Amino acid sequence: MYTQSIITKRYTTDIKPNTIKEVKKHVNMYILTLLFVIFNRTQHIILIFKITYTYLKKQKTMRFGRLKFSVLTAIFALLIAGLFACNSKQNQTENKLKESALLIIDVQNDFCPGGALAVKEGDKIIPAINKMAKEFNLVIASKDWHQDSTVHFEKWPVHCVRGTKGAELHKDIDTTLIDKIILKGTENSDDGYSAFEATSINLKDFLNESKIKTVYVTGLATDYCVKRTVLDALRYGFVTYIVTDAIKGVNIDPTDSETAIKEMTEAGCKVISSEDIVK
Ligand code: VGL
Ligand code: ZN
């Protein structure tokens, strides 16, 4: 009789008091599991393990049928807990990125190998950028967008002249993931290093209107436009990250990128790798 599963038993009319007790125990187990998964943290999962183990130990004297049911209950509880744990981790990432924007700075042909102001291996950061762009609700790409003649070209070789091939985004950047392209360095009297100096939009207002609290900065070049964008973002109160494998420097002096990163972190910027955001 008792070797029969409780599942089928509890739906029969002649439920014995003992059986009700057993069912109650199992229901308690489910409630406990549910409570833990709601607040789920690793230590809660471990606790579920411990409770399950103690519970099973107490059932030692039980006959095989019920023990099997208990084992099934335990496995079920753990599966549910695991499922919730995965879900909640995903939700945490999604929620975290909900108020975040990805900034892609100047990944244009002229800053990539073969370009007028090429950053060594500048194109190597593109896969990490594309991978991250898929995770963000708001992706903004800036373009250095100079006139033929500007004070800027007294300091730099001619590059990113609006309308030229060199000013186009690198072909490997997945533009379908970009929500907004912004233009900077557009005047003949400015350098326009920072994306916050864009003239096609007021980036600070746009981010605030979009309820963005955090920006992740990627692109070229670490020691110029990335750095100046990061310092402005911090100044305007955004929580700011640089993504180490998604930025590259010009390095006129070989230590320039290193120095720039130090300057950014000292100003309050956080350092992260794309692996930390997208597995
Ligand atoms: C940049 C030098 C000149 C940059 C732009 O995008 O970092 N660097 N113009
Ligand atoms: Zn420029």
Q: Which residues are known to be catalytic?
A: 106, 184, 225
* 3-state secondary structure (DSSP) of residue 214: strand
Substitution site in 193, 197, 232, 264 for ligand 1 pocket (most atoms within 8 Å of beta carbon) = 193
106 lines ligand 1 (CB under 6 A): yes
156 lines ligand 1 (CB under 6 A): yes
Q: Residue 246: pLDDT above 80?
A: yes
Ligand 2 center–CA 245 separation, angstroms? 22
Rounded to 5°, the CA angle 256-260-261 comes to: 120
Q: Which of 60, 94, 128 is the last residue of a domain?
A: 94
The pLDDT-based confidence of 239 (bands split at 50, 70, 90) is very high
CA distance 161 to 116: 10
2 lines ligand 1 (CB under 6 A): no
Together in a domain, 188 and 254: yes
- What is the model's pLDDT at position 92? 60
- What is the model's pLDDT at position 6? 47
> Each residue of 100-158: pLDDT tens digit?
999 999 999 999 999 999 999 999 999 999 999 999 999 999 999 999 999 999 999 99
Question: Could you tell me how far CA 21 lies from the centroid of its own chain?
Answer: 47
- What is the model's pLDDT at position 184? 98
Is omega for the bond preceding 74 within 30 degrees of 0, making it cis?
A: no
Does the pTM exceed 0.85? no
Number of residues written out for the chain? 279
Q: Domain holding 268: CATH number? A: 3.40.50.850
Q: Which of 94, 119, 149 is the last residue of a domain?
A: 94
Query: In sequence order, what E strands does the chain have?
Result: 100-105, 138-144, 180-184, 214-220, 239-248, 270-272
Together in a domain, 113 and 79: no
Ligand 2 center–CA 252 separation, angstroms? 15
Together in a domain, 78 and 126: no
Substitution site in 103, 144, 160 for ligand 1 pocket (most atoms within 8 Å of beta carbon) = 144
The pLDDT-based confidence of 72 (bands split at 50, 70, 90) is confident
Together in a domain, 10 and 66: yes
Number of domains in the chain: 2
- What is the model's pLDDT at position 90? 62
Ligand nearest to the CA of 146: 2
Q: Which of 69, 94, 119 is the last residue of a domain?
A: 94
Strand (E) or helix (H) holding 80: helix 64-98
Together in a domain, 137 and 69: no
- What domain range is 253 assigned to? 98-276
Query: In sequence order, what E strands does 55-192 have?
Result: 100-105, 138-144, 180-184
C-alpha dihedral (227, 229, 230, 236), degrees to nearest 10: 150
Where is pLDDT greater, at 41 or 271? Answer: 271
Q: Which of 29, 182, 41 is nearest to 103 (CA)?
A: 182
Together in a domain, 82 and 105: no
